[in-house]
Chains A and B, each alone.
Chain A
Amino acid sequence: MNDETSAARKRRMKVVVDLSRCEVFAQCVFASPTTFVLHGDEVLEYDPSPDEAAHEQVILAARACPVQAISIGWSEEPEDMEARVP
């Protein structure tokens, strides 16, 4: 068993919004209001590495985008990676 190894590793979600495609239909904000936020009527802000609790909603958000501007990537990285990033 390698429970220890898998506990030390965590699946990280990486979100990228292609802002040259985005037309601010804001469907992602409806689907996942903690990860995607609209400022005024025009400006989209988002969390590029949302917590696991938000993953399901973020996947729905990507599916709902009318211009398919949202990409989701995954990486398996050691949990303490952030601590090592300068």
Chain B
Amino acid sequence: MPQETLFQESARVSNRANPYPLYAELRRTPVSRESDGTYVVSTYREVSSLLYDPRISADPRNSADPPPMYKNPNAPPPEPSFIQLDEPRHEHMRRLTMKHFGPPRSPGRISGMAARIGQLVDKLLGAHQGRQEIDIVQDLSYPLPVMVICDLLGVPLEDEPRFRDWSDILTSGLDPDPSLQNDPAFLQRIFKASAEIRVYMAELLKAHRRTPNDSMLSAFVNDPEARAQVTDGEFMSIAILLLIAGHETTVNLISNGVLTLLRHPDLLARLRREPELVPAAIEEVLRYEPPVQFRNRTTLADVSVAGVTIPKGAEIILLIAAANRDPLRFPDADRFIPDRTDNQHLSFGSGVHYCFGAPLARVEAQIALREIIRRLDGPVLAVDPPPYRFNPALRGPSHLVVNFERLTD
């Protein structure tokens, strides 16, 4: 068995609760070649510059070792969504999707959801009236983004148990663990989940064409401009991307936010007195405990970074979570400072692939955190560190049990 690399060690389950000391070790070599030929980039300046570099591809078809979906001998890989495309197709697909999500064509859609999100948070927290315990993940930070994304996209919430499993299995494909990636049973599960979610999404998109409503998917699949340029396979891939991203990321942001604040009771008390600081605190949670720890890319040419020439066709891991704690970029980088002013974190990426859903994640996290802070009297962590979700790329607790004295109105 080949020796475990430093990055693989940081991604191991036993280090999930605190991978940061290993990230600090990785940063000592800004661009390090792992024994398996992967290049790990872990410092702020280098990660940031590569996010802008057109010689760096997000398209798995350029990779010598593509993700599981591309290894199915019995089915062609699904059409890539824009997260897996390079220019010019990326920009084109993203713009057609954005038409129904944000500016310039739908500027108020996300801010217009704030009231609805507030009601959902109120309902989820209100269910704990008279109790003294809440599992923040299962009772709030998982269900909230799921309800919101279903609402926005026009996906029936009652189908949630089905796509919860698919989403879990498909995102496990982001796990770099070679023993998983080479396990035929693991690959079979991914192929099966991919086939099933595509059948589900094909039916749903057909239903939106037959009976349009005011949801985003309805608007998108019935838009004549999109229909002329987007294939049915691409519509499916984009819809699946949005559904899964809405499932797997904001949950970590809210959970990591609550966890971090409960570990800093003085700061929690301050935010309770000064709720106007919550949006800044969310940005600091993003920097300090990023929901997405790293992203994979491939070089389209030889690329020199920090004195290292990464050869064409190499796999790169952009270790966002390490870059966010680079002391050359952020003073007191390992300290959680909720009113940090210079906070240009990379947690939503940067450049052309900047997170499509960032504005929605921000609104959800701002409202959820504000209400949790305001309404829970005397909250304390029942277990620290909490158990974590299995996935090292999408890192966050699987349960976060909090005891409290009472729920205020």
Q: Mark A54-86, 1 if CB is under 8 A from B, else 0.
A: 000101100110111000000000000000000
Q: Are B344 and A67 in contact (CB under 8 A)?
A: yes
Q: Is A49 an interface residue (CB 8 A)?
A: no
The answer on a CB contact under 8 Å between B107 and A37 is yes
Closest to A34 in B: B108
User: Would you give the shortest CB distance from B115 to chain A, in whole angstroms?
Assistant: 14
B107 with A30: CB separation less than 8 A: yes
Question: Interface stretch among B14-22, B73-81, B354-362, B388-396?
Answer: B354-362
Establish whether residues B111 and A66, one from each chain, have CB atoms under 8 Å apart when the complex forms: no
A32: B residues at CB distance < 8 A: 111
Distance in angstroms from A65 CB to nearest chain B CB is 9
- Say whether B342 faces chain A, with CB atoms less than 8 Å apart: yes
Taking CB as reference atom, which chain A residue is nearest B276?
A59
| In the complex, chain B residues whose CB is within 8 Å of the CB of A26 | 102-103
Quick one: given A26-B103, A38-B107, A39-B104, are A31 and B344 in contact (CB under 8 Å)? no
Given A63-B280, A64-B362, A67-B344, decide whether A30 and B103 contact each other with a Cβ distance below 8 A: yes
What is the minimal beta-carbon distance from B149 to any residue of chain A, in angstroms? 16
How distant is A12 from chain B, measured CB to nearest CB, in Å? 18
In the assembled complex, A33 has its CB within 8 A of some CB on chain B: yes
Q: Looking across the interface, which residue of chain A has its beta carbon closest to that of B282?
A: A63
Contact across chains for A66 and B348 when beta carbons are under 8 A apart: yes
Residues 19-47 of chain A, each 1 if its beta carbon lies under 8 Å from chain B, else 0: 00000011101111100011111000000
Interface string of B98-111 (1 = CB under 8 A from A): 00001110011011
Q: Determine whether the beta carbon of A29 is less than 8 Å from that of B103.
A: yes
- Which residues from chain B contact A29 at a C-beta distance below 8 Å? 102-104, 107
Q: Which residues of A contact B343 (CB under 8 A)?
A: 68
Contact indicator B102/A30 (Cβ below 8 Å):
yes
Q: Which residues of B contact A (CB under 8 A)?
A: 95, 102-104, 107-108, 110-111, 276, 279-280, 283, 342-344, 348, 350, 354, 358-359, 362, 366
Asked if B111 and A41 sit within 8 Å, CB to CB, the answer is no
Determine the distance from Cα of A32 to Cα of B104 in the docked complex, in whole angstroms.
13
7 contacts between A and B (CB under 8 A): A27-B358, A27-B362, A31-B111, A38-B107, A39-B104, A59-B276, A63-B280
Are A33 and B104 in contact (CB-based, < 8 A)? no
Closest to A64 in B: B362
In whole angstroms, how far apart are the Cα atoms of A26 and B280 in the complex?
Answer: 18
- Which residues of A have CB within 8 Å of B359? 27, 30-31, 64
B111 touches A33 (CB 8 A): yes
Residues of A within 8 A of B342 (CB): 68
Identify A38's interface contact among B104, B350, B362, CB under 8 A. Answer: B104
B309 CB, min distance to chain A CBs, angstroms: 28
Contacts of A41 in B (CB 8 A): 95, 104
The chain A residue with its CB closest to the CB of B342 is A68
List the 8 closest A-B pairs by CB distance, nearest first: A30-B359, A33-B107, A29-B103, A38-B104, A38-B103, A33-B108, A63-B279, A26-B103
- Chain B residues with Cβ under 8 A from A64's Cβ? 279, 358-359, 362
B279 — which chain A residues lie within 8 A by C-beta? 59-60, 63-64
Contacts of A59 in B (CB 8 A): 276, 279
Let me know if A33 and B344 touch, CB within 8 A. no
What 8 new A-B contacts, CB under 8 Å, besides A29-B104, A63-B283? A26-B102, A27-B362, A30-B102, A33-B111, A38-B107, A39-B104, A63-B280, A66-B344
Known: A41-B95, A41-B104, A67-B344. A30 touches B111 (CB 8 A): yes
Give complex CA distance A75, B97 in Å. Answer: 40
Bound complex: CA A38 to CA B108 (Å): 12
CA distance A54 to B362 in the complex (A): 18
Give the docked Cα–Cα distance between A41 and B276 (Å). Answer: 31
| Complex: A30 Cα to B107 Cα, angstroms | 6
**Separation in Å of the A31 CB from the closest CB of chain B?**
7
Neighbouring A residues of B110 by C-beta, 8 Å: 30
The docked-state distance in angstroms from the alpha carbon of A37 to that of B107 is: 8
CA distance A40 to B110 in the complex (A): 19
Contacts of B344 in A (CB 8 A): 66-68
* A33–B103 alpha-carbon span in the complex (Å): 8
B319 to chain A, nearest CB (A): 19
In angstroms, how far is the closest chain B Cβ from the Cβ of A66? 6
Interface centre among A25, A30, A41 (most CB of B within 10 A): A30
Q: How far is the CA of A22 from the CA of B243 in the complex (A)?
A: 29
Query: Using Cβ atoms and an 8 Å threshold, which residues of chain A touch B354?
Result: 25, 66
Q: How far is the CB of A11 from chain B (nearest CB, A)?
A: 15
